[in-house]
Amino acid sequence: MTCDNLAIVVKGYPRLSETFIAQEILGIQQAGIPYRIVSLRHPTDKKRHPIHERITAEIDYLPEYVYQEPMRVLRGWLKARKLPGYRRARSIWWQDYRRDRTPNRARRFAQALVMAAELPDDITRIYAHFLHTPASVARYGAIMRGLPWCCSAHAKDIYTSQDWDMREKLFDMDWLVTCTKANVDHLQKLADDPAKVNLLYHGLDFARFPEDLPNRAAHDGRDPKNPVTILSVGRLVGKKGYDDLLRALAGLPKDLHWRFVHIGGGNGDKYKLLATELGIAGQCDWQGPRDQKEVIAACQSSDLFVLASRVEKDGDRDGLPNVLMEAQLCGLAVVSTAISAIPELITDGLNGKLVAERDPNSLSAAMAELIADPALRDQMGRKGNEIVRRDFSFYTGMKELAHRFGGDQLTSSTTTAQQPAAE
């Protein structure tokens, strides 16, 4: 099998909240598969994960808005209209636009024009991360260039997209991978050929994590000088349920002593205000965005991990948050919600506690139980570590992806060599 030369289309690069994409890109690089990154947006995060420093690919930034680079879009159109697939791509886009008359839809076609015109001639496949905007740009551009294309779908991109849009993309692409069984079931119902849709967990690169679990003190919340540290990592956006979590924290028994540590970006002001209104601001530590090493260090030094994920009105939701796997790999017991693919990782009562979404009372009760029982936290954390190491290795997924890109002969000396002995 000939190895592909990839154009990897992403929303923005680099992004702190999408380390799983960077991890995969690094795996592609380590497997020796040639590639370049095509980003629809310029980076906005002030911090970078160390993993981005190891990625050496060339990056093409497409015009975010037509008005910002009109001459580049014009040059793209002048060249793209001569490509063999231009007429078909334009016809498909026009059909899409008649059903979705938005500036974003028009912008996707403009970006596709530029990409199709500027990609090097040796690119053999386009691979998009996310089934909404990046896949649209990849689809139009691939058709113009006469190239095969494929996609990795995640969560928001699936559940906020129209069925007709996903159905037609699935028809045109070679294959799709997605990171949860729930996603597979949903997308296979839309696909012309269900075999096109395949499960591929993101998984973790265990080499980035300490091999031994920390020796955590047996805090039980009774000593005000030694409170239980409750950690949560995630952007301060609706689907993460931080207002539910704060209300749950405020509902904890008054004789339990705890401190809450949050890591992640977003609009912290409204959550800090809510914490103040609930009377728990003094127990909350808002640390803002942190890189991967700092997140791992926080997991190592905390006693309990909580993520109150929920489904938003527009369908936006988490898939299988990497932070849950990271917490478990660090031996943390987890409290989360029984939505999306979280039950694919967390079994209630085995390696954590699962509660209903948008239910602060149940969330509070689950946290209270684990705060008061350090032995149970330790038991669940160790079991979680075992499950993640057994079922959620990045290397397993990377080998599958490398196979799809024709990189079989390249993986044995790269990914396998870096795989921990436990694997």
Domain membership of residue 319 (yes or no) is: yes
pLDDT exceeds 50 at position 271: yes
DSSP per-residue letters across 5-29: -EEEEEEESS-GGGHHHHHHHHHHH
**202 pLDDT tier (thresholds 50, 70, 90):** confident
The whole-number pLDDT of residue 19 equals 82
283 in the same domain as 158:
no
- List pLDDT tens digits, range 67-116: 999 999 999 999 999 999 999 999 999 999 999 999 999 999 999 999 99
The whole-number pLDDT of residue 416 equals 36
Q: Is the peptide bond before 14 cis (omega within 30 degrees of 0)?
A: yes
Domain membership of residue 119 (yes or no) is: yes
Q: Distance between CA atoms of 50 and 35, rounded to whole angstroms?
A: 20
146 in the same domain as 71:
yes
The whole-number pLDDT of residue 349 equals 97
The whole-number pLDDT of residue 408 equals 64
- List pLDDT tens digits, range 145-160: 999 999 999 999 999 9
62 in the same domain as 194:
yes
What count of other Cβ atoms lies within 10 Å of the Cβ of residue 307? 23
Q: What is the CATH number of the domain that holds 386?
A: 3.40.50.2000
What count of other Cβ atoms lies within 10 Å of the Cβ of residue 237? 15
The whole-number pLDDT of residue 421 equals 30
Is 74 in contact with 110 (CB distance < 8 Å)?
no
Rounded average pLDDT over 241-258: 98
Percent of the chain with pLDDT over 70: 96
Rounded average pLDDT over 191-218: 93
Domain membership of residue 232 (yes or no) is: yes
Angle at 141 between CA 139 and CA 144, to 5 degrees: 110
229 in the same domain as 172:
no
Q: Distance between CA atoms of 26 and 380, rounded to whole angstroms?
A: 31
Domain membership of residue 1 (yes or no) is: no
Q: Distance between CA atoms of 226 and 249, rounded to whole angstroms?
A: 17
144 in the same domain as 92:
yes
Q: Distance between CA atoms of 239 and 350, rounded to whole angstroms?
A: 25
Residue 40's nearest CA partner among 13, 58, 22 is: 13
Q: Residue 177: beta bridge partners?
A: 152, 198
Domain housing 254:
207-390
Q: What is the pTM of this model?
A: 0.81
- List pLDDT tens digits, range 391-417: 999 888 899 999 999 986 444 334 433
- List pLDDT tens digits, range 293-352: 899 999 999 999 999 999 999 999 998 999 999 999 999 999 999 999 999 999 999 999
pLDDT exceeds 70 at position 20: yes
For residue 307, give Cα distances in angstroms to 9, 159, 186. 29, 20, 24
What count of other Cβ atoms lies within 10 Å of the Cβ of residue 254? 5
Q: How many domains does the chain have?
A: 2
382 in the same domain as 250:
yes
- List pLDDT tens digits, range 107-142: 999 999 999 999 999 999 999 999 999 999 999 999
Is 294 in contact with 226 (CB distance < 8 Å)?
no
323 in the same domain as 279:
yes
260 in the same domain as 287:
yes
**423 pLDDT tier (thresholds 50, 70, 90):** very low
Domain membership of residue 337 (yes or no) is: yes
Domain membership of residue 221 (yes or no) is: yes
- List pLDDT tens digits, range 46-55: 778 788 999 9
The whole-number pLDDT of residue 414 equals 41
**1 pLDDT tier (thresholds 50, 70, 90):** low
Domain membership of residue 25 (yes or no) is: yes
322 in the same domain as 402:
no
Domain membership of residue 423 (yes or no) is: no
146 in the same domain as 116:
yes
294 in the same domain as 398:
no
- 314-326 in b/e form (b: 16+ CB < 10 A) is eebbbbbbbbbbb
Is 203 in contact with 397 (CB distance < 8 Å)?
yes
Rounded average pLDDT over 367-381: 98
Lowest-pLDDT range of 164-178, 202-216, 356-370: 202-216
361 in the same domain as 414:
no
